[in-house]
Amino acid sequence: MENPIIILPWAFERDAPPFEGNDIKFPESLARHIIKKHSKKGDKIFDPFAGLGTTLFVAEELKRIPFGIEAEGQKFEWVAGQLENWTHMICDDTACLDKYDLPKMDLVLTSPPYMPRHHKWNPLFGGDPKHAGYDKYLKRMGFIFGKISKVMKKNAPLIIQVDNLHHGKTFTPLVRDIANTLDKNFIQTNEQIVKWDNPKQDYPFTNLLYFKKK
Ligand SMILES: C[S@@+](CC[C@H](N)C(=O)[O-])C[C@H]1O[C@@H](n2cnc3c(N)ncnc32)[C@H](O)[C@@H]1O
């Protein structure tokens, strides 16, 4: 069994773009640890919420083949502009991934957009008031991961980095809630804590959820 706690460097190797800080990113050390451990050269690595492309850049550095989807045009362009495999990058809502002819992936590594449960603004619908609220966010998350499962090889690992959220007195158990949305299509195989070796005082650790496709 894998160690339930691992320690990784808290450091960002690539400058953030002028329009976005490093706040939404996980460190390259996390992507490198997972990709080395759970894939081999030539494997197809998919990040369906690509953000600033950490998974994709590290996959390319390790001679894997990156595929990514990012809904926001500015981030999409910034990432695609720096990838060798830029044609594997899609700018769209991941819920629509079956519009594209994606190959079957060997590993999915991602971190989804977060939503505190007392908020109405649902990031998976760009804040559309018709889809407001935490329940709709979780339902959509399950729907999107159902689509993601369709482009994964059987038994391929899905690894999600996610945090519980504390806002004043309100606590959002996002780690548990996201894991529960995946029940239909995935089996959870592990859960791990990543401690940062030099943490920002307010962010000492994060969580990794491991699944395999049913
Ligand atoms: C937490 S960030 C991912 C950060 C990434 N792990 C990194 O290291 O840069 C989540 C990303 O998902 C994108 N996103 C949100 N909803 C989406 C959707 N429905 N389809 C595709 N991307 C989406 C957001 O724009 C954001 O960039």
Domain count, the chain: 1
Does 116 score more than 90 pLDDT? Answer: yes
In a domain, 192, yes or no: yes
Would you place residue 122 in the very low, low, confident or very high pLDDT band (cuts 50, 70, 90)? very high
| Residue range 160-168: mean pLDDT, rounded | 96
State percent of the chain over pLDDT 70.
100
In a domain, 40, yes or no: yes
Report residues whose beta carbon is within 6 angstroms of any ligand 1 atom.
24-26, 49, 51-54, 69-72, 75, 93-95, 111, 113, 123-124
Substitution site in 20, 25, 70 for ligand 1 pocket (most atoms within 8 Å of beta carbon)? 70
Q: Give pLDDT, residue 21.
A: 81
In a domain, 47, yes or no: yes
What range defines the domain where residue 99 resides? 5-10+35-112+139-163+186-202+209-213
Mean pLDDT of the chain: 96
Poorest-pLDDT segment among 68-72, 104-108, 166-170:
166-170
Give me the sheet containing 107-110, strands edge to edge.
Answer: 5-8, 186-200, 203-213, 157-162, 107-110, 44-47, 65-70, 89-91
Residues ≥6 apart with Cβ < 8 Å to 187? 211, 212, 214
Q: Give pLDDT, residue 2.
A: 76
This prediction's pTM: 0.97
In a domain, 105, yes or no: yes
In a domain, 79, yes or no: yes
